[in-house]
Structure 1
């Protein structure tokens, strides 16, 4: 009997959470009986609600009002989800078509957070790729003038960096071809950290592994210097944020105030710490309220996952919103966008 009673109370709690997520209004016993087939009396429901309140799953804002879920209730609700809501084929097609329109990696990621903020109506964040797993795919060299080159560095994660190089000596088309060959032999397939070492070696006149003709030695030195500066930058410390204004719709639901939440979202180190916990592709992480380490986000929930290419996680993306968000729907949308970002990156 005790097991049956516990199961019923879990059903009552799930119903309260679902109704509050839907309406953001306190839920009473009468409303529960009207909306859900619980097959018990109103007295039983009131008793169950009293027990749930004593156990810290629900609370009342006013003496005569209905009850609202606590963060403890949302955690139990999320943990009990057997599956997230599947997206319709139309939704999936719309996501993929929108993301495939991106011209490069950063554009794809910018589109992903714009889309995610629109379809979840929350604030969305994405981390630019983690440099540790990126490898150089190609370095293109373009002659802009006899004393100026354009270097285009492309990684296997889809990152594209362009840098102008001012030369100390005149350079012609034949020298450009030789320069391109030398640079790609030094960089091809290397991680960005190893690539920086190779470039430093290349700039050393005593280095013998890759032959550098004297006529392009000064050009190699200038290009290596510029590329090293590009490679040692930390773009994985950059975030793209979209839809922060969505949180103004629910500002009243943040007792500690919306400004502190917006400030936390702007502080990259806070969000990067959150996204650092979502390194498994295909797994959605949900942090509810005080589960967030940063006090400024203690009134929010964060739903996030990783995106990547060829089985490697390149970064994280997710949404930040109120604790009463539609968890099942939000989790499915975050996961779908991450999967399609991964598909687009894999196809580029």
Structure 2
């Protein structure tokens, strides 16, 4: 990369920063006034002409300044040498806020609210996918001699409760056996393996009555919890933030909001990012291609995954206009994802 190319990138970086901040097209004079680029206004004008010819910036109106194009934003994001880390007090505040969540639902609700506030964009968090979860504990509670409550708790904090109606009354010693056998079959296994184990246990003990019948009925109910559901749950917050930047969407904000209501659109954006610890930025046409929704063409999506070192629980991120504070947004998404994983992994 020659010195002229490096200088032009500094000009592009300055244009991106000023446009994100001011929402106004940027001229050469304002670049000279605001940034110490070390060259004359004439040189900056020449650099801007080259950047425009190469498609990194464009002139929205005659006699106006320049604004970044999607290609310009892409170049800016790809060449971010480092993202400003959050301060120690900021990180401590995030961890404390998330760690005081009472359960999985509360932690994720807090994460969405926090991320929307930090980035001033729409925040989305996907509930832990069942296929990635391991059964941490199975609790069996007798509600009556012929009625049981099964509680499946996964390592991601997901809790599923099911009622089992027994055909016959079960004795206390049979309940203890039932609890032990099901616990041995399920606990410590991924949900896909656990579903096979409980089905095998039911077939082995299918005696048509007594404990075998109770195992069979319990297995039938448990399989509804263990087998991957086709639908996934999402939490979304901060949609009102988009209304602050209506002009950035070229009058199509309503179509963007309607697309966000289609859960499958958002799931596609999050599902495409499954590499733990990596933050992905999709800009404009890239967001449209990933989601399959034309309405996303005027947006940018910053996404990542959250979980433990060994397991990805789900995806999360923010969506907003292409005129976005990318360094700050990337830092916030990465930090919140890291701390969600820490909080859930420690429970």
TM-score by length of 1: 0.92
Cα distance in 2 between the residues matched to 1:236 and 1:339: 25
Partner in structure 2 of residue 284 of structure 1 = 279
Partner in structure 2 of residue 273 of structure 1 = 268
Cα distance in 2 between the residues matched to 1:232 and 1:23: 50
Partner in structure 1 of residue 30 of structure 2 = 31
Partner in structure 1 of residue 323 of structure 2 = 324
Q: C-alpha deviations, 1:35-76, integer Å up to 9, x for none?
A: 001222222222222221121111122112211111111011
TM-score by length of 2: 0.93
Q: Indicate yes or no: 2:116 matched with 1:117.
A: yes
1:146 shift after superposition: 2.8
Partner in structure 1 of residue 223 of structure 2 = 228
Cα distance in 1 between the residues matched to 2:190 and 2:138: 14
1:235 shift after superposition: 7.0
SS in 1 for 2:58: strand
Q: Is the 8 A contact 1:129 1:314 kept in 2?
A: yes
Cα distance in 2 between the residues matched to 1:29 and 1:314: 47
Which residues of 2 match residues 64-143 of structure 1 at below 5 A?
64-143=63-142
Cα distance in 1 between the residues matched to 2:2 and 2:228: 58
1:110 shift after superposition: 2.3
SS in 1 for 2:260: helix
Cα distance in 2 between the residues matched to 1:102 and 1:235: 27
**Distance of aligned partners of 1:36 and 1:314 in 2 relative to their CA distance in 1, 3 Å threshold:** same
Q: C-alpha deviations, 1:300-323, integer Å up to 9, x for none?
A: 111011111242212111000111
1:246 to 241, 247, 255: 241
Partner in structure 2 of residue 215 of structure 1 = 210
Partner in structure 2 of residue 305 of structure 1 = 304
1:233 shift after superposition: 4.3
Partner in structure 1 of residue 342 of structure 2 = 343
Cα distance in 2 between the residues matched to 1:189 and 1:287: 37
Q: Is the 8 A contact 1:309 1:342 kept in 2?
A: yes
Q: Indicate yes or no: 2:252 matched with 1:257.
A: yes
SS in 2 for 1:170: coil
**Distance of aligned partners of 1:50 and 1:110 in 2 relative to their CA distance in 1, 3 Å threshold:** same
Partner in structure 2 of residue 177 of structure 1 = 176
Cα distance in 2 between the residues matched to 1:178 and 1:262: 53
Structure 2 gap segments, 5+ residues each: none
**Distance of aligned partners of 1:33 and 1:212 in 2 relative to their CA distance in 1, 3 Å threshold:** farther
**Distance of aligned partners of 1:212 and 1:314 in 2 relative to their CA distance in 1, 3 Å threshold:** farther
Cα distance in 1 between the residues matched to 2:3 and 2:195: 64
Cα distance in 1 between the residues matched to 2:80 and 2:207: 61
SS in 1 for 2:2: helix
Of residues 136-145 and 271-280 in structure 1, the stretch that sits farther from structure 2 once superposed is 271-280
What's the C-alpha RMSD, in Å, of the aligned pairs?
2.0
Give the number of equivalent residue pairs.
Answer: 343
Cα distance in 1 between the residues matched to 2:80 and 2:166: 61
1:236 shift after superposition: 6.6
